[in-house]
Structure 1
Amino acid sequence: MSKNTKKHRQKAAGIDGGGSSRNQRESHKMPESERLPLQLKISDFLAGSEDEIVFKGLSNIQRKYMHQFAARLGLKSQSYGSKNNRELHVRRRKRLTTLGDVRPLNMSAATRAVLKSLLPTIQTQLVTNQVIVQSNPNASHRYRNLRSDSISVALGPRMIPPRAQRISNELFRDKQELPIYHYQGELHQMLKQHNVFIINGETGSGKTTQVPQYILNEATRRNRPCRIVVTQPRRVAAVSVAHRVAKERGEPLGETVGYQIRMESRVKKTSNLIYTTSGCFLRSIMADVRGLFRKVSHVIIDEIHERDKNTDFTLITIKEQLKLNKDLKVILMSATMDIQLLSNYFDNCPVLNVPGQGYDVKIYHLEDILFHTGYRTALMEKYLRSMQEAFPTPTSMFSDNVLETMMSRTTADRLEDEYMQQVLDSLIEQCCESVEIRSKEELNEMFDQIQYYIESEGMSINAGHSETGLTPLMAACKCNMPEFVQFLILRQANVGIRDHDGYEAIDYARLHADGLCLQILMGSTNCVERVKQQEELSQQDKEKHRILAAYQQQFNDDNEVDHDLILSLLEGLYRNGHSGAIMVFLPGYNDIVQQRDLIQSTLPSGTYKLCILHGHMDSKDQFEALQRHPVRKIILSTNIGQTSITIPDLAYIIDSGKVKMNTYDSITESSQLQAIWISQADACQRSGRAGRTQNGVCYRLYSKAKYQFMPQFSIPEFMRIPLTEICLYAKTLEPKCGVQTYLQKSLNPPSTLSIQNAVRKLKILGVFRDDESVTELGKHLVDIPLDVQLGKCLLYGVFLKCYDPILTICAYHSVKDPFILPTDRSAQGQASFQRKSFSGQSFSDQMGILSLHKSYMEVRHNPRKVREFCNKYFLSHSAMEMFCATRKQINDVIKNMFNINYMDKMFNNDWHMIQLCLVAGFYPNVALIDRKALKLVCGAEKQLLLQRTSSLNPPGKKHLKEFINQLPHDWIVFYEKSRITNTCTINMNTVVPSLMIALQCGLDCDIIKNVGTEEDDSDEEELECNDDIDTDSDSQHSLQLTSNTATNNTTNSHSSSTSHSSNILNDFEVLQQKLSTTLKNISLNNDNCKTIMSLDNWIKFDIQSGDAKLLLLMRIALHTQFLAFLKTGPNAATSSAAFCIQKLLNTLHSSHAATFKMTV
């Protein structure tokens, strides 16, 4: 074991956020046998639709653990009751509503003067755009279907595949030895008889590389045109498999066989076999679904058990296409999935079962590893010594012989046990004698006493009556007390003990007709099996469990990865001279870096090749892991390495059992990235990597019991992600079908609440109308390879003529963060300082993005300088190149939509225009700086924190309160909101003026004149929009001037049946009418009475009524011009609108805006 064990473990704990806190140590007190059933119940709760789950009969320690565990998963928990009747309630978070505090908005005289001067210009723009839109109602989307990453764009008509070239005898033998080779006849027969079927092929069967080749060969023999698209969940698999198949056909890559992934393509118009990612295939469907399936004869969806969102959505489309296209052939391939579920989904389609390679994989679980390697820490040794003192021989730990255990105890201990036995005898006798005549209240009181003695006085849960042998569990079953049976089962009561008459608890449970106790016992079959297995344990197994218990007392495997144990295994394999590559599965990048540093500081340099497999690495780097090397190869991989790739010399797997998974709470609209336990199917996939070409060994860093409690399959991505993009896709493909109805067609439909929340957000963003029809904005967003909010932000960048900086910001937010967190703690402060240095004093992370991109482009083409630049600023070169490539791809898409020229970049250096675009795109991600309470709030979130990486949380400032007073404005727009337990943080933030919030935030804007103020008691002039005045009996006059965003539906009830062009005209006409009404009724007199300008349920401004009316006018004009821009593209009128906005924003004073013009 490494001498720096303690230091490394503390470092790992710090990265995972767990640390070595008191709460974490509390969980060590609970044995794994108690934690696992509780975790399983929570997992089932999360997978279901219930809002609450109740736990009864938990001990204090169990309740403490459950509070921590629930908080880590973003759940709310609370205990109720007293003493023995205490219950733990775990609930999902609910959406909270808040009226919000009214914030002052004081407009400067210069801003007010500019707003008034713009009125004639606005009227002219209105007339001009009215003529353009009405004369050209069908002009939108004239640049569709030109997506650079669409497969159908790159391909021509289907062609007859050429004959494969001669290959080496060795390569040919390798193909023949694959299990799938012997199933070619069955494969061709199924293709003739069925349009869709499943290949259930075990890991290593050869299905991914061989099935497409068999289809190509058959098409060549029959002289038939053929084109196959094979989808993979990950880029590395699509690229590596394409290379392998091209090699097996004796051809260069990019001819018959090619691949297409984001930012990379090796495909010709004549290619017959294309490997692609599921995301790229879905974008191709959205670009031109009919054209795509005209050019493709076969679709093979590989690794379908991954259940990513793109694959699940694609299945809906394919199921519909099978009804329309009788010639389409679909093959679904999986190694570990609920095949019956998939078969039922496709009308009981047939299944072709193919065995695996047949190589043996020896699996060692945590208890085996600890026993055989002799891995010990100081804490483990201390705990083992204490166990030895309490139990002189290992067998006594598992023995039920009370006398033998008591021999090593003191006289006081024996007297205490005698007293406990008397108490137990008395209580059981009272419970079981004359049970028929005892009331429920009497029985509850007696069993509460038993529970008290078990929890608080140390009474053995499996102790029996001295004469009858009845245990508390048997007594509870005999008296038909299901609540108490549940309590005992959760405390791991032994259900296999027999009384002196030979009866077990389950025999007494069968006496009662309602079967409540019996049902609980039957549900604890795992406990029965555990007891029976425990009785049959060998001496070696008992020692393994003793060491495992010691290990789990000092290491919380729920939160951490034991990097030192992994290093110990690597050192053992290294010293013993075992041949073959080693793959270590780790949750994420931080764990990979930490493990890499441990290896490099321990193993002799030059004697091994260290490779890394990670989803955001360049394809070239990932190929290093697939090649043979003259020295021992060690591969550190995330879950990307568990599917579709074959590493020929791989012999050993070390499986941490963890994966980084991003879960999204649609109620609080926050995400949570955390390391969680994998499923049993994933565990089998990982161990199968070692048995592809030879016998292998898999070391699982989790116990056999933990494996048994893992979920059988992974949670589908549909169940744990925001569904806004999916809902937009659904409505685009099936405009006449409701989103809820369409997504109910999926293999595992997402919850109704998640869909409703996604649809609600799309309406707020102006992507859906009230009837769920897609607006003009939504139709543009479908074609942009960005999430909905970034896409909207980018379109505003084109509209407001600051395209380049907004393009850079949106591209950055759509890729992995390029900044690296160094594992050396002493360097982490420097890394944070360098990262934040790009933002300077701008109070904006987005400003930092622009400065970073500018600086990087200056050195990008000089290898030495770019290496120095990345080292200085702690940047990943590959991630920066991905950022630049993504920027180019998005730029190509936008150029196909609009004729971008220098006029569309006129305000590239205007920071205020950039800020306004961010507000338009990021809303509703808005936070308020409460200067009185010295905290951040956001809608229903009572308090937010700034993420440590944000430039608004500068180096050296430990608390937000010290920094708030330095911020120039009260509002922050942010891109990310994440939750860690009960703490909610925001990241990628920009401070913005109140005027921008008033112009761009909110679906509707209500102006309420409050006559309760001193000014309102005078004879001030009333608001002049008489048709809209609603006089109530109370002391308020309410003016409802609704300024819907550019694409919100305000049409009448029959609008859902209108055509696309009439919907556009209705949207435009409604905004036009509102603008005309406001212009007609607005008073230019200096109206000093105070009004409330309400943008949504929490953003409200206290403002002079005259200023409010001017701002409302500008809001409506801005949204009207944006809609006209989406409809017709840039024109003189929309350009004039951009100049008006720029003139207005220039009245805002900002020192860092001037700095921006000088630096970017």
Structure 2
Amino acid sequence: MNSNHIGMKPHVNHGSMESLSSSSGNFSSGLTIHQYRSKLMNIIENEPIFVLIGATGSGKTTQIPQWCLQSKHSTGDPEGSLSQKCRTIGITQPRRVAAVSIATRVANEMKTPLGQLVGYSVRFDEVISPSTRIKFMTDGMLLRESLYDPMLRKYSFLILDEAHERSIQTDILFAIVKKAYQSRKKNGLSSLRVIIMSATMNVDKFSQYFDQCPVYKIAGRHHPIEILHSEKDLTDTIHSTLVTVFQIHRTQPPGDILVFCTGQEEIENMVAITRDTCFQLPPEQRNLVPLPLYAALPFNVQFKIFKTFTGKRKVIFATNIAETSITISGIKYVVDCGKFKCRRYKPSSGMDTLKIETISQAQAWQRAGRAGRESSGTCYRLYTRESYENMPKEMVPEMLRCNLASVLLHLAAIGIKDFTKFDFMDKPTVENINKSTELLISLGSITKDENNLYQITNLGRQMVNFPLDPRLAKILIASSELGCSDEILSVISILSVENVFHIPSHKKDEAAEVHKKFRTNEGDHIMLLKLYRAYKSAKGSKDWCKENYIDFRNMRMVANIRQQMASLYERSNFTKNSCGSNTELVRKCLTLGLYHNVALIGKDGDYRSKMSEEKVYIHPSSCLFNLKPEYVIYSELVQTSKCYMRNISVIDYNWLKLL
């Protein structure tokens, strides 16, 4: 293996990194990072903050936390001081799938039950104990901890992994961790050690942000990867993807296939089609095992991607979660559609949309690299070379393209009064900050004084306790007073997963007919409530879900989320109650948080958003699709060929007058 890719000097540009030789030894694990263990242990002991670049598969995510645990900064100093003892090594991940799967792997490596020495904490699920020393968690969970302890005193090390993804929560964490590091140093408290880990070379900004901290690079295992581009741009991505998968399966040597898709619905569709098509192949070619991978998938199903199916070839249909967050052994072929789902916010119109967009060149190379982790491989790009060259170099950080309401409410909760002066790594536009603060003010969560400084309200402090969008948090809090908290808990829990309906491509008409019994003229939110009530009446039966074309796995996740949310609701001293059959109260309550998302029908029969005056349409999947109520509220807008409203409810205009 190459050994000249780890540098020691403060980072100015990539050409300045100083080389270090690897240590000698027998590294049975096969992880590249073990060549540099002694060098990295020295860095961990002596550098309070540094950036570590390591290709996916190098072992940085699983090994660095274990080495930090062995450091004097975690176990106590040589003189026997116990001031640092029993403090935690925290490792953040942008996605819950990665946090759980990596925690499980590290626990296995350390031969300890998950939840003891090694544990994890993700939204609506936590497996830790008082003895947990290595804690994997999503960015959002550490952010929540910072509300109650801004100096993050329980941690000796904080490792911000997958930093290159630049999620909105990761970016806020950069600032909070930096401030915690400085505050602990200033106040003479035990030191906080910070490691920023990335799978890409573009880390100049990280180093500069953390006061020109040093950057080190670990070489990954790179095998030759053949890149094949499509000869022309393809319009039917699903068809092209499946054709490519079966061509690989029929003509290429053994090796698993990783397919990048845009979302859950597309993935489930392709998994079903692949499974059905396999039965039509000759018996010797039916050894193809299709598996899904997306963030909302239950953990027990996610872990199937790591299984070895003797004599069979896995084909994993995944979102961009598989770009860098997790390493799957056995991948030899990658099929890249060149697209991903991207959320964008337009401050001028207040419109928050979820749209399928083109990936960046950096993402394209991350995807291709998955084929060369263990041996030579091939990446099939379903787009032309010219299309690749026209892609943006890097993905725009989420901070610069999203509604900032949740972020700003969090900042207000930790005492930030002037959002424009906050230490953002990439500062959002003033327009975006202003629009988001206007939303929070209108929800009653913050106030603004004559000096343009912001203060969180009592309602805002209640809202920030819930891991929800501020609008949904407002709805949940209001539901207690309106007498429908039981129903709102159910609706919000279903909205927290991507899709609870299972509609096989070859049984669309049959599924649509069965789903009619859940439909209602009141709209989609009440339809979802009816569905959950029926599911509970059937005692969560798997057979019932199958008969009714409902996704059993997602409904189990809904039930788990609801249980966690209900527990948090009661701990926050809110009263649980039910409105029974009076579902009008549910729609009134939803209006209290979603009144910005109002659309009214015009004389031409088309809907327009009340806030932006832009033309919007009822999504074909809505139970209101063939109806024309005068006023509706919606949970989100999804822009494809048109700007569609999703999860819609009928409202009375007089309800808006009362706000």
- TM-score interval for Structure 1 and Structure 2 normalised by the shorter chain: 0.7 to 0.9
Deviation of residue 360 (structure 1)? 1.0
**Which residue is 2:498 aligned to?**
816
Q: How far does the alpha carbon of each residue in 1:369-418 deviate from its partner, in whole angstroms, 9 at most, with x for none?
A: xxxxxxxxxxxxxxxxxxxxxxxxxxxxxxxxxxxxxxxxxxxxxxxxxx
Question: What amino acid sits opposite 1:870 in the alignment?
Answer: C
**TM norm structure 1:** 0.50
Q: Structure 1 pair 582/944, CA: closer, same or farther in 2 (3 Å)?
A: closer
TM-score of the pair, normalised by structure 2: 0.87
Cα gap change, 1:662 to 1:872, in 2 (>3 Å): farther
1:710 aligns with 2:397: no
CA contact (8 A) 1:590 1:821 kept: no
CA distance, structure 2, for counterparts of residue 248 and residue 927 of structure 1: 54
In structure 2, C-alpha distance between the alignment counterparts of 1:979 and 1:699, rounded to whole Å: 27
The one of 715, 733, 746 aligned to 2:424: 746
Alignment partners' CA distance in 2, 1:721 and 1:239: 26
- The match for 1:975 is 635
Paired letter, 1:752: V
Q: Aligned partner of 2:457: which letter?
A: T
The reply on whether 1:634 has 2:315 as its aligned counterpart is yes
> Which of residues 207, 228, 238 in structure 2 aligns to 1:365?
228
- 2:622 is the counterpart of 1:926: no
- Structure 1 or 2: larger strand share? 2
Say which SS state the counterpart of residue 498 (structure 2) adopts. coil
Contact 1:361 1:698 in 2 (8 A): no
User: Is the aligned partner of 1:847 residue 2:518?
Assistant: no
Q: Paired residue for 1:194, among 42, 47, 50?
A: 47
Structure 1 position 573 matched with structure 2 position 248 = yes
Q: 1:909-952 CA deviation, whole Å, 9 max, x = no partner? A: 4334333312222212223345x554434324264422222222
Name the amino acid aligned to 2:263. G
2:176 aligns to what? 317
Other-structure match for 2:617: 945
Equivalent residue, structure 2, for 1:346: 210
Q: Verify: 1:828 aligned to 2:508, yes or no.
A: yes
Contact 1:363 1:700 in 2 (8 A): no
- SS at 2:153 equivalent: helix
Amino acid at match of 1:563: H
Shift of residue 884, structure 1, vs aligned partner:
1.5
Structure-2 residue corresponding to 1:878: 553
Contact 2:354/2:637, CA 8 A, preserved across alignment:
no
- How far apart, CA to CA, are the structure 2 residues paired with 1:595 and 1:806? 33
Q: Is the 8 A contact 2:124 2:565 kept in 1?
A: no
Counterpart of 1:588 in structure 2: which amino acid? G
C-alpha distance in 2, partners of 1:241/1:295? 21
Q: Per-residue displacement from partner, 1:3-33 (whole Å, max 9, x unpaired)?
A: xxxxxxxxxxxxxxxxxxxxxxxxxxxxxxx
Amino acid at match of 1:188: M
1:568 positional shift: 4.3
Q: Relative to structure 1, is the Cα distance of residues 896 and 295 closer, same or farther in structure 2, using a 3 angstrom cutoff?
A: same
Quick check: 2:163–2:170 contact (8 Å CA) kept in 1? yes
Query: What is residue 398 of structure 1 aligned with on the other side?
Result: none
- Give 1:229's aligned amino acid: G
Hey, which of these two has a bigger chunk of helix by percent? 1
Kept in 2, the 8 Å contact 1:975–1:987? The answer is: yes
Q: Deviations over 1:242-284 (max 9, x none)?
A: 1221222222222211112123222111111011111222222
Query: Structure 2 unaligned runs (5+)?
Result: 1-25, 186-190
Residues 112-151 of structure 1: CA distance to partner in whole angstroms, max 9, x if unpaired?
Answer: xxxxxxxxxxxxxxxxxxxxxxxxxxxxxxxxxxxxxxxx
- Provide the C-alpha distance between the structure 2 equivalents of 1:218 and 1:232, rounded to a whole number of angstroms: 22
Q: Which moved more, 1:718-727 or 1:853-862?
A: 853-862
Q: Deviations over 1:774-794 (max 9, x none)?
A: 122111111012111111111
Correspondence for 1:595: 270
| C-alpha spacing 1:361/1:875, structure 2 compared with 1 (3 Å) | farther
Does residue 649 of structure 2 align to residue 990 of structure 1?
yes
Bigger RCO (CA 8 Å, 6+ sep): 1
Q: CA deviation digits over 1:518-574, x for unaligned, max 9?
A: xxxxxxxxxxxxxxxxxxxxxxxxxxxxxx3xxx2xxx43x542633x444434433
Change (3 A) 1:643 1:909: same
Kindly indicate whether the alpha-carbon contact (under 8 Å) linking 1:198 and 1:332 is maintained by their aligned counterparts in 2: yes
- Aligned 8 A contact 1:680 1:711 in 2: yes
Q: Deviations over 1:1010-1032 (max 9, x none)?
A: xxxxxxxxxxxxxxxxxxxxxxx
* Pair 1:658 & 2:339 matched: yes
The answer to whether the Cα contact below 8 Å between 1:613 and 1:622 also exists between their aligned partners in 2 is: yes
1:798 aligns with 2:441: no
Residue of structure 1 equivalent to 2:89: 228
Aligned residues of 2:477 and 2:574 also touching (Cα < 8 A) = no
Mapping of 1:10-409 within 5 angstroms? Answer: 173-175=27-29, 177-219=30-72, 225=85, 226-290=87-151, 293-326=152-185, 327-357=191-221, 359-366=222-229
What is the CA-CA distance between 1:830 and the residue it aligns to? 4.2
Query: Percent same amino acid at aligned positions?
Result: 30
Tell me, what secondary structure is at the counterpart of 2:455? coil
Partner letter of residue 300 of structure 1? I
Letter in 2 for 1:360: H
Residue 324 of structure 1, CA deviation: 0.8
2:275–2:289 Cα contact (<8 Å) kept: no
How far has the Cα of 1:345 moved from its partner? 0.7
> Which amino acid in the other structure matches residue 336 of structure 1?
T
Instruction: Say yes or no: does 1:619 pair with 2:472.
Output: no
The structural deviation recorded for 1:237 is 1.2
User: Displacement, 1:210?
Assistant: 0.9
- Give the counterpart letter for 1:856 in structure 2: Y
Aligned length: 610
Aligned 8 A contact 1:802 1:909 in 2: no
Distance in 1, matches of 2:200 and 2:578, equals 55
Q: Are positions 1:780 and 2:643 aligned together?
A: no
Residues 836, 950 of structure 1: 8 Å contact kept: no
- Mapped partners of 2:569, 2:375: distance in 1: 50
How much has 1:309 moved relative to structure 2? 0.8
Question: In the superposition, relative to structure 1, how do residues 341 and 360 fare at CA in structure 2: closer, same or farther (>3 Å)?
Answer: same
Change (3 A) 1:834 1:668: farther
C-alpha displacement at 1:758, in angstroms? Answer: 0.6
Distance 2:256 2:268 in 1: 19
Amino acid at match of 1:346: F
Q: Which structure has the bigger radius of gyration?
A: 1
Amino acid in structure 2 at the alignment position of 1:786: L
The Cα of 1:891 is off from its aligned counterpart by 0.9
- Superposition RMSD on alpha carbons, in Å? 2.4
Q: What is the DSSP-based 3-state SS (H/G/I as helix, E as strand, rest coil) of the residue aligned with 1:975?
A: strand
Check conservation: 1:230, 1:299, Cα contact below 8 A. Answer: yes
Tell me, in whole angstroms, the C-alpha distance in 2 between the residues paired with 1:707 and 1:207. Answer: 29
Q: Whole-Å Cα distance in 2 between the matches of residues 807 and 275 of structure 1?
A: 28
- Determine if contact 1:977/1:985 at 8 Å carries over to the other structure: yes
Query: Counterpart of 1:848 in structure 2: which amino acid?
Result: M
Number of the residue aligned with 2:445: 767
Deviation at 1:855, TM superposition (A): 0.2
User: Does the Cα contact within 8 Å between 2:258 and 2:317 map onto a contact in 1?
Assistant: yes
| 1:63-108 CA-partner distances (Å, limit 9, x unpaired) | xxxxxxxxxxxxxxxxxxxxxxxxxxxxxxxxxxxxxxxxxxxxxx
Determine if contact 1:611/1:624 at 8 Å carries over to the other structure.
Answer: yes
Native 8 Å contact 1:299 1:331 kept in 2: yes
What residue identity is the alignment partner of 1:828? K
Paired residue secondary structure (1:310): helix
What CA distance in whole angstroms lies between the structure 2 residues aligned with 1:785 and 1:852?
Answer: 24
- Maintained 8 Å contact 1:337/1:681: no
Structure 2 residue aligned with 1:1130: none
Q: Deviation at 1:577?
A: 5.8
Tell me the secondary structure at the aligned position of residue 52 of structure 2: strand
Indicate the residue corresponding to 1:936 in structure 2.
607
CA separation of 1:831/1:616 partners in 2, compared to 1, >3 Å: closer, same or farther? same
